A and B are shown apart, each in its own frame.
Chain A
Amino acid sequence: MLILGIDTASPQVGVAIGGHEGVLASFHSARGRQHAETVTPAIEFVCRQARVELREISCVAVDVGPGLFTGMRVGIATAKAIASALRVPMIGASSLDLLAMPVRHTSRRIVSVLDAKRGEVFTAHYVSAPGGIQRIGEYRCETADELVVELMAEHENYLLVGDGALRYRDVLSAVENVEIAEQSLSMPSASALVQLAHSHALREQWVNTWELQPLYLRQPDAEINWQERQ
Chain B
Amino acid sequence: MNDVVLGIETSCDETAAALVRGGTEVMSSVVSTQIDLHARFGGVVPEVASRAHVELLTPVIAQTIIEAGIDDSAIDVVAATVGPGLIGSLLVGVSAAKALALVWDKPFVAVNHLEAHLYAAFLEDPNLELPLLVILVSGGHTMLIEMRDHGEYRLLGSTIDDAAGEAFDKVARYLGLGYPGGPAIDAIAEQGDPTAINFPRGMVHDGLDFSFSGLKTSVINYVRKNPDASNADVAASFQQAVVDVLLIKARRAAKSIGARGMCLAGGVAANSQLRLQFLDACTEDGVHGFLPSRLMCTDNAAMVAAAGWYVFNQYGPSGLETGAYPNMKPRWLAE
Contact = CB atoms under 8 A, between A and B. Distances in A.
Interface in B153-172: none
A206 to B, nearest CB: 16
Interface string A153-184: 00000000000000000000000000000000
Contacts of A35: 91
Contacts of A76: 54
Contact of B54 (A38, A55, A73, A82): A73
A38 B96 contact: no
Given A36-B98, A43-B99, A78-B98, 20 more contacts: A36-B322, A37-B322, A38-B321, A40-B95, A44-B320, A70-B88, A73-B50, A73-B54, A74-B91, A77-B53, A77-B93, A77-B95, A79-B99, A80-B54, A81-B58, A85-B100, A85-B103, A214-B51, A222-B41, A222-B45
A70 B48 CA distance: 12
Nearest to B8: A81
Interface residues of B, number: 35
Interface in B6-49: 40-41, 45, 47-48
A32 interface: no
B40 A209 contact: no
Interface of B: 40-41, 45, 47-48, 50-51, 53-54, 57-59, 61-62, 72, 87-88, 91-100, 102-104, 320-324
Which 6 interchain pairs have the tightest Cβ spacing?
A: A220-B47, A81-B99, A81-B96, A77-B95, A222-B45, A40-B98
A36 B326 CA distance: 13
A36 B100 contact: no
A44 B105 CA distance: 11
Contact of B99 (A38, A70, A77): A77
A49 interface: no
B99 to A, nearest CB: 4
A86 B103 contact: yes
Contacts of B47: 69, 220-222
Interface in A185-222: 209-210, 214, 216, 220-222
B327 to A, nearest CB: 16
A229 to B, nearest CB: 10
Given A70-B50, A81-B96, A220-B48, A209 B58 contact: yes
B41 A226 contact: yes
A117 B322 CA distance: 28
A106 B322 CA distance: 42
B105 to A, nearest CB: 8
Given A40-B102, A55-B103, A73-B54, A84 B61 contact: yes
A81 B103 CA distance: 9
Contact of B58 (A70, A73, A75, A84): A84
18 contacts: A36-B95, A36-B323, A38-B321, A54-B103, A73-B88, A75-B95, A76-B54, A77-B57, A77-B93, A77-B96, A78-B98, A80-B57, A81-B100, A85-B72, A214-B51, A216-B51, A220-B48, A220-B51
Nearest to B45: A222
A23 interface: no
Contact of B321 (A37, A74, A82): A37
A82 B99 contact: yes
Contacts of A34: 323
Contacts of A81: 57-58, 61, 95-97, 99-100, 103
B99 A37 contact: no
A75 B99 CA distance: 10
B321 A220 contact: no
Contacts of A223: 45, 48
Contacts of A75: 95
A41 B48 CA distance: 28
Contact of A73 (B59, B92, B322): B92
Interface string A1-45: 000000000000000000000000000000000111111110110
B56 to A, nearest CB: 10
Contacts of A214: 51, 54
Nearest to A214: B54
A164 to B, nearest CB: 22
A80 B96 contact: yes
Contacts of A73: 50-51, 53-54, 88, 91-92, 95
Contacts of A221: 47
Contact of B104 (A85, A209, A220): A85
A189 B158 CA distance: 48
